[in-house]
């Protein structure tokens, strides 16, 4: 017995029945194009808490473009609008009409949080904000969300504060300048990038990725994909023993000798039968995807994970790097080397 379609499905069937063959074909092509367009959009890779600036909260995320692997920190459009206007629905009719006019004329509309006509001269002369006005659409939990590069927030605040300083705002707009001032004070203590990274949980992953890139330069090409398997504790403990801040205070700069340490502690001590197995697995996977795509996933191998867990334990037990080297030689001696024991 065939179940009858109900609700939207029933409506869809009725609509399809009224279409000609050409119309159905065009509709199908449109749906395929929409799916492909959505698949090409950046995806959220880190999201945890909203950005907290005093009493103001702005939804934020770290996104990655599937084609270029470019990572961008974003704030949602509605989140920024709410931060300046108080509520997303409070944008004035004039602002909305200005946006609609731009769309009708084929122009890129100004974000609602910057749409008042009195702000336009200040926006035009501000090179920083001009480069950040492109809206970014990205996929979050299957839904398409509109946002902007997080760096736009301090620039938006500067525009509103400059307008207030010049006395060009209307009385009802002064409250928005006050909100901008509150935001600027909150941002004065720490950079927007660091705030977003902390809110989304990307801070540790960013440091881990920076270390992974260093390690990749020192290991065989076939083994590079397995670098992303390393647990976060491995990086943290390595930094502790060598006196390196984690995460680093500036630009994720780690000493390059960390790559040599990893070669010594991990790859030169893997079981002989495991090395060929890892290389084969990486080679097979590389045939299915480009290397940069392969590196974006956490690849697991039971024996490798077991070995890394042991190395992390040795790291945690070690008081300094010298003790770490001694314990590694006892727990995991290098292959083709004879252990020396003191009797």
Check residue 96 and give its pLDDT: 59
Using CA atoms, how far apart are residues 116 and 103, in angstroms rounded to an integer? Answer: 16
Q: Kindly state the DSSP code that residue 246 receives in the 8-state scheme.
A: S
| Beta-carbon-side half-sphere exposure of residue 125 (alpha carbons within 13 Å) | 7
E-assigned strand segments in the chain = 43-46, 51-53, 56-58, 60-64, 71-76, 136-140, 143-149
Using CA atoms, how far apart are residues 214 and 54, in angstroms rounded to an integer? Answer: 37
Check residue 208 and give its pLDDT: 62
pLDDT of the chain, 343 residues: tens digit per residue: 444 555 555 555 666 667 787 877 778 888 888 788 888 999 999 998 888 887 788 999 999 998 888 889 999 999 999 999 886 445 555 555 655 654 555 555 788 899 888 999 999 888 888 889 999 999 999 899 999 999 999 999 999 999 999 999 999 899 999 989 888 887 876 677 777 887 888 877 776 665 555 444 444 555 555 566 778 788 889 999 999 888 776 665 667 788 778 778 887 777 665 556 556 665 665 554 333 333 233 444 666 777 888 999 999 999 999 999 999 988 888 765 544 434 2
pTM (2 d.p.)? 0.54
Q: Which of 247, 190, 198, 230 is nearest to 51 (CA)?
A: 198
Domain ranges in the chain?
A: 43-200, 203-331
Q: Which of 222, 238, 239 is nearest to 286 (CA)?
A: 222
For the residues of 284-325, what is the DSSP string, one character each?
A: HHHHHS-HHHHTTS----HHHHHHHHHHHHHHHH-SSHHHHH
Using CA atoms, how far apart are residues 265 and 312, in angstroms rounded to an integer? Answer: 10
CB 62 within 8 A of CB 73: yes
Helix (H, G, I), strand (E, B) or coil at 51: strand
Phi then psi for residue 43, to 5 deg, are -115, 150
Check residue 114 and give its pLDDT: 92
């Amino acid at each position: 017995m065939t179940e009858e379609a109900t609700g939207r499905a029933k409506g869809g069937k009725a609509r399809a029945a009224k279409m000609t063959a050409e119309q159905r074909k065009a509709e199908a092509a449109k749906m395929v194009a929409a799916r492909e367009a959505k698949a090409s959009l950046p995806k959220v890779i880190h999201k945890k808490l909203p950005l907290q600036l005093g009493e103001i909260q702005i939804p934020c995320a770290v996104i990655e473009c599937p084609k270029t692997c470019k990572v961008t920190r974003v704030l949602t459009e509605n989140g920024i609008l709410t931060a300046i206007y108080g509520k997303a629905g409070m944008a004035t009719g004039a602002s909305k009409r200005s946006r609609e006019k731009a769309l009708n004329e084929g122009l890129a509309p100004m974000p609602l949080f910057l749409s008042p006509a009195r702000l336009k001269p200040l926006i035009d002369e501000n090179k920083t904000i001009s480069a950040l006005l492109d809206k970014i659409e990205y996929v979050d939990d299957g839904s398409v969300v509109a946002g902007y590069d997080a760096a736009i927030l301090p620039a938006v605040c500067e525009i509103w504060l400059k307008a207030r300083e010049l006395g060009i705002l209307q009385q009802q707009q002064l409250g928005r300048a006050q909100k901008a001032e509150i935001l600027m004070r909150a941002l004065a203590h720490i950079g927007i990038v660091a705030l977003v990274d902390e809110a989304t949980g990307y801070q540790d992953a960013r440091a881990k990725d920076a270390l992974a890139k260093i390690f990749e330069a020192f290991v065989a090409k076939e083994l590079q994909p397995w670098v992303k398997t390393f647990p976060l504790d491995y990086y943290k403990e390595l930094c502790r023993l060598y006196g390196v801040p984690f995460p680093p205070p500036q630009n994720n700069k780690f000493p390059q000798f960390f790559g040599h340490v990893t070669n010594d502690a991990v790859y030169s001590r893997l079981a002989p039968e495991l090395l060929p197995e890892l290389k084969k697995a990486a080679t097979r996977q590389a045939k299915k995807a480009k290397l940069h795509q392969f590196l974006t996933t956490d690849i697991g191998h039971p024996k490798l994970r077991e070995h890394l867990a042991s190395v992390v334990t040795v790291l945690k037990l070690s008081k300094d790097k010298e003790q770490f080297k001694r314990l590694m030689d006892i727990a995991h001696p290098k292959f083709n080397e004879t252990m020396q024991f003191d009797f």
